[in-house]
Amino acid sequence: MGMTVDLLASADSPRARARFINQRTKKKVKEFLVKRRGYKRPDFNRMILDLGRLGWTHEKIADVLPVSGASTVSEWSRGGIPNYDNGDAFILLWQIEVGLDRYPREGEWATYKYKIGQLDMFDDWDELDAVIEQLDEGIKSP
């Protein structure tokens, strides 16, 4: 009991406050490190490929974003990391063009799929069968 009273009495000393802050800070740092283990950075290469499928070139992306030139976008496609402002602007551009709220993260390429451009044209097999029949008739009737 006397030990508790001594700790409370010495809580006003700067040394005791520093120990208390350090313990609290260590706990927060540990929580942060645990949460950081699951963090995956945005997959800029995949986003650049998606925009390329929609007709965007590196030059066009660089013109829209506040970057120096197409070489900057090319560097991102090779694994470079944009600064926060450029990366955030690029993610916003990708989201607007693709029409999705979330963006791909590294290592998630097999986790979820989305449709870009005309990739959904293969979903309706009846239409494809009709096209194949028309092509077959065109080949048969010279």
Burial class (CB in 10 A: 0-12, 13-18, 19+), 123: exposed
* Lowest mean per-residue pLDDT among 1-5, 12-16, 72-76, 101-105: 1-5
**Whole-number Å distance between alpha carbons of 90 and 75:** 14
Both tokens assigned to 124: 């309706």
Residue 73 and residue 58: Cα distance in Å, rounded? 6
User: What's the pLDDT at 83?
Assistant: 92
Q: Which residues of 91-107 are buried (b: 16+ CB within 10 A; e: fewer)?
A: bebbeebbeeeebbeee
Phi, psi for residue 42 in degrees, rounded to 5: -60, 145
Q: What confidence score (pLDDT) does residue 10 get?
A: 55
What is the pLDDT, as a whole number, of residue 1? 47
Mean per-residue pLDDT, 46-57:
90
Domain limits, the chain: 2-37, 44-121
Are the C-beta atoms of residues 46 and 116 closer than 8 Å to each other?
Answer: no
At residue 142, the pLDDT reads 57
Does residue 94 surpass a pLDDT of 50? yes
% residues pLDDT > 70 (the chain): 70
Pick from 88, 85, 93, 107: which is nearest to 50 by CA? Answer: 93
Question: In this structure, how many other beta carbons lie within 10 angstroms of the beta carbon of residue 76?
Answer: 21
Q: What is the DSSP string of 42-100?
A: B-HHHHHHHHHHTT--HHHHHHHTTSS-HHHHHHHHTT----HHHHHHHHHHHHHHHT-
Average pLDDT over the chain, rounded to whole?
Answer: 78
